[in-house]
Amino acid sequence: MTRTIAFIGLGNMGGPMAANLLKAGHRVRGFDLDAAAVDRAVAAGAVAAGSAAEAVDGAGVVLTMLPMGRHVRAVLAGEEGGDPGLFAVAAPGTLFVDCSTIDVETARAMAEAAHAAGHRMLDAPVSGGVPGAEAATLAFMVGGAAETFAEAEPLLACMGRTIVHTGPAGTGQAAKICNNMMAGIQMLGVSEAFTLAERLGLDTARLFEVASQASGQCWSVTAYCPVPGLVPTAPSSRGYTGGFASALMLKDLKLAQQAAATGEAATPMGALAEALYALFCAQGHGDVDFSGVIRMLAARG
């Protein structure tokens, strides 16, 4: 079924995601504060809207791909004394799908506000980065009601390959930050071990051979090893580029700590990972792939 989709936030991720919806035959009405982003979407076949409210006019589905929770809140629920937000102007029953990575608390608050206004809402953050957005191979983690998920699934399938219904509202964001917290902690542990191996005179290729088949085995070893040359397809083998930027890892680790504080979970390893990635980013490496943190750990004084 061809649908008319309002797409708000046409940046690095949203741009190619909107392009894939267009390729699948859907109509896209796009809005972004950045005119160049709108122009790129129009070149891919989208209709430009002059505002988010204008994009939503006549659309049954609203997709958002914005930087942080405060942007999502402002666009959807409005600002005090200002713009009323899209929940107030969309036709009742509109399906809202927020694909941004934001805090769990805001995701839950947005779902409640959507329902109060007579709409349906899913939190559907993604993993796979810009290459995944371009190739329509993203993984979606989706929180919300089962019947709403069933309605959105064919649309998400135009942009991604793995689509998991994680449970009620907010659980998509929870899955995203828990997974990325694991990846961040794992990467630091693997980086420490490979650095120690090298200092002990152990060939890192031999440690790779052992660890990839023994109890040290994990994604940060087998698919994404931070030592260059051991996994040819890993960002470390192309100068720590083209993967997942350390600044984005830091953002997700911060969201995990924020959620842990409100949920009263003990996450000391996550806290340490956040501190180490904050240090790495403060040293000017925010745009370096997150496996590049091995260079900070391996540095000799």
Contact 271, 257 (CB under 8 A): yes
- For ligand NAD, the closer CB: 66 or 260: 66
Q: Which residue has the tokens 């370096």?
A: 288
State the residue number with the nearest CB to ligand NAD. 11
Contact 133, 126 (CB under 8 A): yes
Which residue spans within the chain are E strands per DSSP? 4-8, 27-31, 47-48, 61-64, 95-98, 120-123, 126-127, 138-143, 160-167
- Measured from the CB of residue 149, what is the shortest distance to ligand NAD in angstroms? 19
User: CA dist 166 to 11, 65, 160, 227, Å?
Assistant: 26, 19, 16, 33
d(C-alpha 221, C-alpha 209), whole Å: 10
- Measured from the CB of residue 244, what is the shortest distance to ligand NAD in angstroms? 6
- For ligand NAD, the closer CB: 42 or 193: 42
- Measured from the CB of residue 153, what is the shortest distance to ligand NAD in angstroms? 19
User: Where does this chain bind ligand NAD (CB under 6 A)?
Assistant: 8-14, 31-34, 37, 52, 65-67, 71, 74-75, 100-101, 126-127, 129-130, 248, 251
- Measured from the CB of residue 111, what is the shortest distance to ligand NAD in angstroms? 17
- For ligand NAD, the closer CB: 6 or 197: 6
- The one catalytic residue among 23, 176, 251, 254: 176
- Measured from the CB of residue 118, what is the shortest distance to ligand NAD in angstroms? 23
- For ligand NAD, the closer CB: 33 or 135: 33
- Measured from the CB of residue 205, what is the shortest distance to ligand NAD in angstroms? 30
Q: Facing residues of 245 across strands?
A: 289
- For ligand NAD, the closer CB: 207 or 270: 270
SS3 160: strand
Contact 18, 46 (CB under 8 A): yes
Tokens (6 digits) for 129: 């980065």
CA 13 to chain CA mean position, Å: 9
The backbone torsions φ and ψ at residue 141, rounded to the nearest 5 degrees and listed phi first, read -110, 115
- For ligand NAD, the closer CB: 145 or 248: 248
- Is 254 catalytic? The answer is no
In the Cβ-directed half-sphere of 229, how many Cα atoms lie within 13 Å? Answer: 4
Query: Going by C-beta distance under 8 Å and a sequence separation of 6 or more, which residues neighbour residue 61?
Result: 3, 4, 5, 6, 94, 95, 96, 97, 152, 155
**Catalytic residue annotation:** 176
